[in-house]
Structure 1
Amino acid sequence: MSTQTLTYWGENTLYINASSRCSNSCVFCVRNFSDGVYGFNLRLDRDPTPEELEAAVLGKHESDFREIAIVGFGEPTVNLAGVLRVLEVAKRRLGLRTRMNSNGHGLLLYPDRDVPLELARAGLDEIQVSLNAPDAVTYLRLCRPKFGIKTFDSVIDFTKRCSKHMKTVISVVGLPGLDIEACKAIADRLEVGFRVREFKGPRDTLGEVREILRS
């Protein structure tokens, strides 16, 4: 695992690459056209262990980072044990602010656990949940979740639960034809923040998205 990129950085943020696996297969995902971000190759051969992630974080602790962001090349909660260890180290040993980007599938990945509560207790300050659709059918077409049509409602439930414990933001990628206002209405209803992310991929992907949203 020593040759794998478990941490990368930008400005004053230390980013944690907890997994390359994901329970979505989004049409517009950066993984379809890139091996990483900020010049770092983020593809992993396997999920790092909690111990490997802890060592990676502590190995960078003397740098001038103000926060730790669990934002890798896959869905972080797929490697929940690793994520919880990173949060505990960041908060209890380093005293840093923490945030994480997630697809919000935690309740489907671990149906017998209260993932939002576990994240909060471990030290997560903020979560951004990628919604990327205003309804279950559009979500199924664009994000292609392995859990099927029920996934969208579970993401909403996950977001609602997270909002009870930490700062919570719904994010969407600004795709052509996507009803951004309808997505924002969901965030407003849940009383959470809302963010539109810029799509930075190839034009042919946008064409594919347009066709999906027209169908």
Structure 2
Amino acid sequence: MKRKIGLLLTALMSSAYGQQLKIETTYKTPVPESENTSVVKVITEDQIEEKHTNFLPEILNQVPEISFSANGGFGQTTSIYLRGFDPKRTLVLIDGIRVNDITGLNGAQFEQFILDNVKQIEIIEGAQSGIWGADASAGVINIITKTPEKGLHAKATAEYGSFNTKKAGASVSYKNDRFYILTSYYLFDTDGFSAAEPKNGSQNYGKRGSEL
């Protein structure tokens, strides 16, 4: 009986170690969290689903070292401040590919990131210029997307809520031992508070906030 219990405990420990969280951003290669030396915060797929958030700024705003400002509601220009630094000092990656807007002042276009296909978000605090360059002086945010399962798969989702809010998405993927391909389309539309000024002659002209 002791031998069986010992084997069972060993198997459980091996399984837990095999599922250990890995960090990809700090060394440009997956490394177990226990071997990582940088200050890292990881938002997992399960945490994203528990929070029921739709856009990247909503989930990042729950990290203590991050704040954001927006010029209106959904889809309006949004700036992320990591450790109080200017937004363009935070490097944003999708699967290791830079997505910072070099022509703008707000870094990446955070307002455009929908979380439906996100597997993990890694937030590296502190200067990472030695690895990623000068635009990573505040830190790095790496968005890691989901990898398709083997074979051909299709998925469709639809949601509806208050203020005539509609969200829909569809994706098709194929994966074999040599490569995979994934294509997806997402739509988010709402009749909530508008960032536009009602035009002269409109029935809402002169109204503000909750009056609209």
TM-score, with length taken from structure 1? 0.23
More strand by share: 2
More helix by share: 1
- Which structure would you say has the larger Rg? 2
Between 1 and 2, higher relative CO (CA 8 Å, sep ≥ 6) is seen in 1
